[in-house]
Structure 1
Amino acid sequence: MTSFIEDVIADLNHKGLNIPQLTFVLPSRRAGVFLKHQLSKHSTQTFFAPEIVSIEEFVETLSDLQYITNTELIFEFYEVYLKLTDKENQESFDEVSKWAQMLIQDFNEIDRYLIPPAKIFDYLSAIKEIEHHHWSLDENPSTFVKNYLLFWNQLKHYYNTLQTQLLEQNKGYQGLVYRKAVDNLEQFTSAHPNNKYIFMGFNALNKAEETIIQELLKQGLAHIYWDIDETFIKNPEHDAGLFIRQHKATWPYLKQHPFNWLHHHYTKPKNIKVTGVPKNVSQIKYIGELLLQLDSESLKKTAIVLGNEELLLPLLNSIPKSIGAVNITMGLPLKSVPLVALFDQLLKLHIKGGDNFYYKDALAVLSNQFVRPLLNNAKIKVANVISTIEENNIIYLNLDKLTTLFQGEYQTLLSLLFGPWKDNPNTALENCFKLISLLKSYLDQDKPSNMLALEYLYRFNALFNELSLLNSQHKHIKTIATLYSFYKELLSTETLDFQGEPLEGLQIMGMLETRALDFESLIIASVNEGILPAGKSHNSFIPYDVKLENKLPTYKEKDAVYTYHFYRLLQRATNAHILYNTETDALNSGEKSRFITQLEIEGIHPIQHKVVTPKVPKITKQLKTIKKTDAVLEQIKRLSNAGFSPSSLTNYIRNPMDFYTQKILGVKTYEDVEESIAANTLGTVIHNTLEGLYKPHIGEFLKPEDLEGMKPKIDTWVKKHFKETYKEGDISTGKNLIIFEVAKRYVWNTINLELNELRLGNEIKIIALEKGFRALLEISELDFPVYLTGKVDRIDQYNGITRIIDYKSGKVDQSKVEVVEWEDLTTDYDKYSKSFQVLTYALMMDSVPEMKTENLEAGIISFKNLNAGFLKFAKKDKPGAYAKKDQLITSETLENFSEVLKNLILEICNPDIDFIEKEV
């Protein structure tokens, strides 16, 4: 395969041109590197390299202006806006910057296509006037409509004043530079009559570029080399030849001189494979598999072209280790590097300008991978701080609080991160610079290992420097929110460029970097509609019909640009793997690109089309099994001596693995900060409040006046217990305030339930509240003692019958405290855990001689089912509605339950029965 660049060099040699004296003008700087390499390969003697420039650089030289950065341009435009807008109607810098971007892009287009500005702007304001009069019958338009029409009338003034302001500084945006270059063309050519320019690899040219190239061709100062296949030129419908067909038909030079640069590479045999792959990451993994099939020689002639350039990082992580040299032509977007998260979190933290920070935002900053080393990797201290925040439900933190939590250490770092910025962008920038300095000092200690991180740091330092410089000149950034907005704007355009040998090994590039370059083998990823080509999008103030009228590019022309790039790549290639994403998601239709459909329909090459899917192994959950070692059995003995609680035993019934992790290993369940009050916290508060209210009446028969006397104290008691349980959590607003009121209502309703019982003539005597029990369970099969332990919420006498009452803050109904077969108690947690608990309490109470009684009931009061009253445990003789229920807990009941309980504990203590995980 001879490349386009080699063809051009051969023709220049054939023409006998002196190459060192030429100036090569290319679509991009990347092609210049390959051109130099080919010039050296085709040379038989040493010579000075010719001047090689991109079209943008060449036009800049012609114009005598300097390109202005996009960010600086927004600042300049805002100054124009302020000059031309009455003070009372002026919008903030942040608001203007949102629409200024699009307007400047329109100015750019108007200038690059050399449209007389008045023609467009007067036309636009006239259209808006007509629209208003057509749709509105109001002779006196509102202020909003007046301002709207004023905006369109102002466009030409914005344009003219911005140009004047920039020209005074010898600066220009791209369009202005191009317009000025055309104006200077005659002067430039007369000053350089002996220069020869070689334009090569161009396709879509704006009016300014066309004018410049045609004038140089006309004066014999230039040669132009097109790279187009006859197939695309001759087919009037093929968009790959759209622009060059137009140039061929309309350029006077091409009408008088032969169009010599048609070739026939595209119709030569090619091996084209189209593969649909679900998801972007799968595409990247598939590329890794394709690379493994290539030998080292083939890799040197291969390029990976990413339609979606955000896939660069995943690709770099998926290239097989056996692949040698890799050259990355495209830059890594700065927004993709890890350090971006730190400044993103930090600026967001301070945007509201307050001194109190939401705990999750503060912890995200402290846990950032770049901040952790500055805390000397004090994992235990940081873990203790996080633990304190969680235990005390501290939802908002400030510098003083954090200083206290860190016991006065890391004061400098904490002040930088959490000190008051008072919504001052200069303070924000100053602190970001200081943080970068701290990070650099740390990373410099082990420079070889931290080279990449130091490179990130350098780029962020440069980025903040640019923001600082612009703001010191223009002073338009007045809040941290505006600073953040511009930080994001800069971040989206900045890239981290890779250094390497551009002519060695596998090439990785974006579609625009492939201009004028050729490869024998191609892997093109993300060839989907909406990516290649980008499809319909209209980010412009200029309507579609006005663009057509003035020969400005629309989405059709933008799609044709990518059509050319795509087909030009295939022209000289022998092998091409074209990948597309088959998966439909929010941003992707999962539709293959029209380019693929076109390849299939035109029928020039046989297309091998297939859809692949990742190898997904069937993952069956392996339920864990834990053997009871001597150490485990020792821990079980200790537990037996300390006492099994009803909840620990029901936990074993639910899932033996939970029992093992919590009781044998002592692993606590993770407790996060309760932003809104958790169910268990609510339950604890209600339990403790009821205990506090009823405690003075232990040993007494309740009287209605006792209960009425409790009601005024509810608010105080609930507040007290929320303070103890919820600690520093806030219950004064939002959802927590509602939960606080719910807690009071539950307590109120419970007291009212008892009042109704008393008024109906029932007698209630409080025997004990929160009564703790520890009872020995005789199990002859074991050679060590087994105790039961637990705390009963309330024991009372109701009309002479002793009741064990367990409070539940969740909803419980009668069916949950009934049992038919005793063995069921240890098999079905959901259905029988409540019965198991109250029966365990009954068994423990029965072991205390002074509390033993023949008239005993046990059950539950459910705060969410208070109307059902006291839900008594019942032994049923059969399932169903008409079963006989025995609600008294007799000695026979306790013996039957005791047998079930002993069997359960024997199972826990049996060395031959493993802890086997259950699916929950």
Structure 2
Amino acid sequence: MKSFLSEVSQAIYSKHQDNLANVILVLPSKRAATILRNEFLKTVKITSISPVIYSIEEFIEELANLKLVGNIHLLFEFYNLYKQLTPSDQQEDFYSFISWAQTLVQDFNEIDRYLIPPESFFTHLFNIKELDQFHWTNSEDKTDLQKNYLKLWKKMHLYYGKLNEYLSDQGLAYQGALYKQAHENCQQYLQNNATLKHYFIGFNALNTAEQNMFQAFLETGNTTVYWDLDKTFLDQEDHDAGLFLRKYKNTWPYYKTNKFEYISENYKSEKNIEIIGTPKNVGQTKYIGHILEDNQLEASKTAIVLSNESLLTPLLSSLPDSIDIANITSGFPLALTPIGSFFETLLEVWENKSEGTWYYKDLISVLTNPVAQVILNHRNKEVEDLLSAINKDNEVYVTDQQLGHITELNLLFPRQKKLLMSQVIENCLAIIIQLRDRYKIDENALFLEYLFGCYQVFNQLQQFNNTYGSITDIRSLRKVYSATVQLQTVDFKGEPVQGLQIMGMLESRNLDFQSVIISSVNEGILPAGKTHNSFIPLDLKVAFGLPTFKEKDAIYSYHFYRLLQRAKNIYIIYNTEPNSLEGGEKSRLIHQLTMLPQQAHNIVEKIATARIENEKTQLLSIEKDSMLLQSLKNVAQKGFSPTSLTTYIRNPLDFYSRSILGIKEVEEVEETIAANTLGTIVHDTLEFFYKPLEGQFLKLEHLKDMRSKVDEKVRNFFSKTYTSVEKLQGKNLISYHIAKRYIENFLKFEENRLKQGKKIQIIHIEQNIKAEIPVSSLDFKVYLKGKVDRVEMVDQCIQIIDYKTGKAVIKNLEIIGWQDIIEDATYNKAFQILCYALLIHKQTGLNSFKAGIISFKNLQAGVLPFATKDKNGNGAVKEHIIDQEVLDLFSHALEKLIVEIFDKNQNLQEKEIELYG
């Protein structure tokens, strides 16, 4: 089956083969123009002068005799004009201006392309907004806010007129103004070029300026318009794909007596159509790779059309090895490249700088960025030292002085208190130069291409800002940069007529393929839905004939069905992921396709999911070889701590990592103080207060003295352990006051105990004890070590106390079976208490005392005592005394645990992760 452009080239050549030089061809896109030129190469058999081929944008510029102004250039010009038209005390900064100016320019484009009389239009718009505002307040007395609100609408006509005049004086115009001027120049152009034959090829939705010009050209009798549509859609009165062409056929005077050229009947031919739903966006690209691999499609006759062009990167990673040539018609957005996003991050970090300090997360995000590491590659040691110092000193905000004087860091983190925008842009350009030199050494051609794109952006911004001086802060620079890189693309080099074709929906205009794969055919993407990025209300658009979402949906419908017209193998893929911003509901175009099938269409619907093998999780197991056993003996010689043994009970693999390999958690900045850090501060403060009282009876005078020093000491230990109290804010400031409150509540708890008549003697505070644990089956010594928070005598009874800043409850300290205590991590607090009791027993020989926990979150419960329940678990609790019987039973259980640890026939077996109270 011949393609549309092939048929058109042959038809034109057959009419003008003797005089192609007098033929002008106009197409919707540069891509279509390139393909048509290639079709002429195939068609023309003798040496001949080529016809002139324009894209519509190029042809409009030719007619208008003006140059299209770039979007960013336009914003600078507009802002310069805005400042001239606005009193200085009412002017917005560039950042605020951009927020509404971009939308306003889009509306100006629409107004001009559709030849709307501006004075009447803007008068209606202002009256509507004034009426809306009046109903809002139901009052004729307007506030300053309301008056300012109306000023924009009142000045729109002024901005419109002055902007057109201002640009025209420089030989420039925005797109809509180009169309309007081209429309005005049309008759003069036709008079000057009466001998030329014009062909307009493959158009669909025309704005008013285009419609008038096309009809003017047709009336000369020397112009032909070739429409690219199937008769099926033209004849169906309610089919959106033919909405515009039916209108032109029925309303243009020319077609009352002349043929409507080039209506094909290919859609009804035999087609294999697969409609595939698959979850996630990346899942779609993976399935496209599966289609290409399994169906052996001829690559040069196949197109992948990306309705969502952000899927380009995962698609390229999903192409099978059999695809050796691919041509990507749309460039890759510079904003999605590593270099483009790096400068976005850098500008955001510079914007966030406050009073000579850098937020540590901002600092780390730059220093750990792969692009920054290319610059800092010979400074790795200094950067590592800097990051370590930030983590060690818990620096949430890092000063310029702490960054040192590394030249490269001066580029990445400018030290000036107030940066001029010229300096910021020059800084970015200097970074680009350094990166260029490094990438040249590595011969990294792709990243050099990305760099060149960013260089063009910053060079352009530098030129515009030097001319206009509009960017006065980093916030504005970042916004303009973001808008620019979104529009800038890194173009791929390829042969447009060879290999697999990968394109966006607009690039597919006028092109035909044997096999077509269309992705993201979901509502909200294809068609885009009721998006409304405009200041113009819907009813006003309808009244003045401006396009609404109805016309935009019809454009998407046309492009979709035009792709299907001549294709034989069609694969339509949509995202099935529920509640997705980009998917979840299949497009109405799919429903229409399945509800109105053609007789020769073989339509198959299916759901595709990734092949997942549900493998059972294998828990790790480490065999105890001679080296591991020796490491265990070394730990035993130094002494097992209660924490290390409870870690073993919870998960032997964690015990192996921490106690044998010595792997510690990565030290990171605590932006919000961690629970263990708060516990350390409370422990250190109480140690300072109580350590001098060892051997003494606690008195109310002691507590009074302590209370007078709480603020000072908590402040000191907070600064020592975490950070300076003066730097605290938010949750950390609350944590500081919580630490104070914990200490104050504890001292009040102590005071109540004394007032109740209890005699409390402080025996030991934060005492480190190490004692041997006899294990008869082992031929080496095993030690237990621990730091006991407090040992006191209360009314002639020794009591061991363990402080907990977290929540603890009585059930964690009551045990029933002694085997449970070495197998179930639920009893870890009871296990620790018994370890401390055994250590005190080994050190002092005492064999009768109590032990418990003081929970700072549960102080009203007093000392939570250790206890043993009887074996039937009926709730009867023994005395809370830890006597020789209890110590012997625990020693026996502890010995069994240690024997298990050293049993070479029993591997260190990972346990399922569980949560314990």
* Cα displacement (A) at 1:135: 5.9
Alpha-carbon distance between aligned partners in 2 of 1:901 and 1:130, rounded to the nearest angstrom: 84
**Which residue does 1:68 correspond to in 2?**
69
Shift of the 854–583 alpha-carbon distance from structure 1 to 2, 3 Å rule, reads: closer
Is contact 2:646-2:825 (8 Å) kept? yes
Amino acid at match of 1:507: Q
**Cα drift, residue 152 of structure 1:** 2.2
- 1:106 alignment counterpart: 107
Q: Is the 8 A contact 2:6 2:39 kept in 1?
A: yes
Report the Cα offset of residue 843 of structure 1: 1.2
Contact 1:392 1:728 in 2 (8 A): no
Q: Is the 1:350–1:423 contact (alpha carbons within 8 Å) kept by the matching residues of 2?
A: no
Task: Identify the residue that residue 545 of structure 2 maps to in structure 1.
Answer: 551
Separation (CA, whole Å) in 2 of partners of 1:349 and 1:133: 43
Unpaired segments ≥5 residues, structure 2: none
Q: Choose from 509, 515, 519 the match for 1:515.
A: 509
Distance in 2 of aligned mates of 1:143 and 1:834: 66
Amino acid at match of 1:748: E
Q: How does 1:72-471 map to 2 (within 5 A)?
A: 72-132=73-133, 137-295=138-296, 298-354=298-354, 355-376=356-377, 379=380, 381-403=382-404, 408=405, 410-420=406-416, 422-447=418-443, 450-471=444-465
Asked if 1:598 corresponds to 2:592, the answer is yes
Provide, for residues 637-675 of structure 1, a one-character-per-residue CA deviation record: whole Å limited to 9, x for no partner: 101111111111111001101000111111112232111
SS in structure 1 at match of 2:364:
helix
The residue type equivalent to 1:475 in the other structure is G
Pairwise CA distance, 1:693: 0.5
Q: Distance in 2 between the 1:738 and 1:787 partners?
A: 41
Indicate the SS of the match to 1:77: helix
Look up the match of 1:736: 732
Structure 1 552/725 Cα, relative in aligned 2: closer, same or farther at 3 Å? same
Counterpart contact for 1:304–1:524, Cα < 8 Å = yes
Q: Tell me which of 831, 834, 858 is aligned to 1:836.
A: 831
> Does the CA contact (< 8 Å) of 2:66 and 2:171 recur in 1?
yes
Match of 1:818 among 806, 814, 820: 814
- Of 600, 621, 627, which residue of structure 2 is paired with 1:631? 627
State the AA in 2 paired with 1:708: K
Q: What amino acid maps onto 1:892 in structure 2?
A: E
Matched AA of 1:188: Y
Distance 2:453 2:221 in 1: 45
Please say if residues 60 and 66 of structure 1, whose CA atoms lie closer than 8 Å, have aligned partners that are also in contact: yes
Q: Distance in 2 between matches of 1:798 and 1:534?
A: 77
Kindly indicate whether the alpha-carbon contact (under 8 Å) linking 1:32 and 1:53 is maintained by their aligned counterparts in 2: yes
Aligned mates of 1:134, 1:709 — CA distance in 2: 68
Larger mean Cα displacement after TM superposition, 167-176 or 45-54: 45-54
Contact 1:278 1:613 in 2 (8 A): yes
**Closer, same or farther in 2 for the Cα pair 1:736/1:666, shift >3 Å?**
same
Deviation, 1:510, is 0.4
Which residue identity does 1:323 align to in structure 2?
I
- Return the letter of the residue paired with 1:834: K
C-alpha deviation, 1:293, in angstroms = 2.2
- Higher mean alpha-carbon deviation, 709-718 vs 631-640, is at 709-718
8 Å Cα contact 1:876-1:884 kept in structure 2: yes
Query: Aligned equivalents of 2:141 and 2:835: distance in 1?
Result: 84
Change (3 A) 1:427 1:822: same
Corresponding residue for residue 803 of structure 2 = 807
The corresponding residue for 1:857 is: 850
Alignment partner, residue 54 of structure 1: 55
Counterpart residue identity of residue 595, structure 1: L
Whether the 8 Å CA contact 1:393–1:729 is kept in 2: the answer is no
* Alignment deviations for residues 858-905 of structure 1 (CA, whole Å, 9 cap, x no partner): 221111111222222222224556413132221221111111001100
Contact in 2 for aligned 1:767/1:796 (Cα 8 Å) = yes
Alpha-carbon distance, 1:627 to partner: 0.5
Cα separation, 2, equivalents of 1:592 and 1:421 = 53
User: Is the deviation greater in 676-685 or in 578-587?
Assistant: 578-587
Q: Distance in 2 between matches of 1:687 and 1:510?
A: 64
Most deviating of 333-342 and 276-285? 333-342
Question: For the residues of structure 2 that align with 1:248 and 1:353, how far apart are their CA atoms?
Answer: 62
Q: Are the equivalent residues in 2 in contact too, given 1:109–1:175 (CA < 8 A)?
A: yes
* Residues 461/868 of structure 1: CA separation in 2 closer, same or farther (3 Å cut): same
Q: Which range moves more in the overlay, 684-693 or 257-266?
A: 257-266
Q: Which shifted more, 523-532 or 247-256?
A: 247-256
Mapped contact 2:129–2:153 kept (Cα < 8 A): yes
Task: Give the CA RMSD over aligned residues.
Answer: 1.7
CA distance in 1 between counterparts of 2:436 and 2:475 reads 26
Tell whether 2:907 aligns with 1:911. Answer: no
The aligned residue for residue 6 of structure 2 is: 6
In the alignment, is residue 708 of structure 1 matched against residue 697 of structure 2?
Answer: no
Which residue in 2 is equivalent to 1:612?
608
Of residues 776, 790, 799, the one that matches 1:794 is 790
Q: 1:775 to 1:415 in 2, by over 3 A?
A: same
TM-score scaled by length of structure 1? 0.96
1:877 & 1:586 partners in 2: Cα distance? 56
Kindly, what percent of the aligned residue pairs are identical? 45
- Please say if residues 803 and 856 of structure 1, whose CA atoms lie closer than 8 Å, have aligned partners that are also in contact: yes
Note if contact 1:526-1:581 (Cα within 8 Å) is conserved in structure 2: yes
8 Å contact from structure 1 (residues 240, 563) kept in 2:
yes
Q: Structure 1, residues 560-606: CA drift from partner, whole Å, max 9, x if none?
A: 11111111111111110011111123423511111111111112134
Counterparts in 2 of 1:128 and 1:708: CA distance versus 1, 3 Å: closer
| Corresponding position of 1:876 | 869
**Aligned amino acid, residue 735 of structure 2:** I
Give how far 1:423 is off: 4.5
Whole-angstrom CA distance in 2 between matches of 1:820 and 1:153:
83
Q: Kindly state the Cα deviation for residue 686 of structure 1 after the two structures are TM-superposed.
A: 0.9
Instruction: Give 1:454's aligned amino acid.
Output: L
Closer, same or farther: CA 865–134 of 1 in aligned 2, 3 Å: closer
Alpha-carbon distance between aligned partners in 1 of 2:178 and 2:535, rounded to the nearest angstrom: 22
Paired residues, number? 909
The letter of the residue matching 1:587 is: L
Q: Distance in 2 between matches of 1:477 and 1:804?
A: 68
Answer yes or no: is the 8 Å Cα contact 1:651–1:659 preserved in 2. yes
User: Structure 1 residues 527-536 or 84-93, which shifts more?
Assistant: 84-93
Is the counterpart of residue 497 in structure 1 residue 491 in structure 2?
yes
Instruction: Return 797-806 or 650-659, whichever deviates more.
Output: 797-806
AA at the equivalent of 1:103: L
Counterpart of 1:676?
A: 672
Contact 2:352–2:358 under 8 Å retained in 1: no
The correspondence for 1:578, drawn from 572, 584, 589, is: 572
Question: Against the structure 1 CA distance between its residues 264 and 729, is the aligned structure 2 distance closer, same or farther, given a 3 Å change threshold?
Answer: farther
Q: CA deviation at 1:132?
A: 4.8
Query: Is the 8 Å Cα contact of residues 230 and 263 (structure 1) preserved in structure 2?
Result: yes
Q: Supply the AA of the counterpart residue of 1:625.
A: S
Compared CA separation, residues 630 and 133, structure 1 to 2 (3 A): closer
CA distance in 2, matches of 1:41, 1:690: 92
- 1:897 pairs, out of 882, 890, 896, with 890
Q: Report the CA distance between 1:369 and its aligned residue.
A: 0.4
Q: Match of 1:885, as an amino acid?
A: K
Q: Which moved more, 1:476-485 or 1:20-29?
A: 20-29
Unaligned runs of 5+ in 1: none
Question: 1:256: Cα distance to partner?
Answer: 2.3
Flag the 1:210–1:396 CA change in 2: closer, same or farther, 3 A: same
Per-residue deviation, residues 305-324 of structure 1 (Å, max 9, x unmatched): 01111111110111112211
Note if contact 1:303-1:521 (Cα within 8 Å) is conserved in structure 2: yes
Does the 8 Å contact 1:398/1:418 carry over to 2? no
2: CA distance between counterparts of 1:89 and 1:203?
Answer: 45
CA contact (8 A) 1:399 1:415 kept: no
Cα distance change of structure 1 residues 421 and 562 upon mapping to structure 2, 3 Å threshold: farther
From 717, 725, 740, the counterpart of 1:721: 717
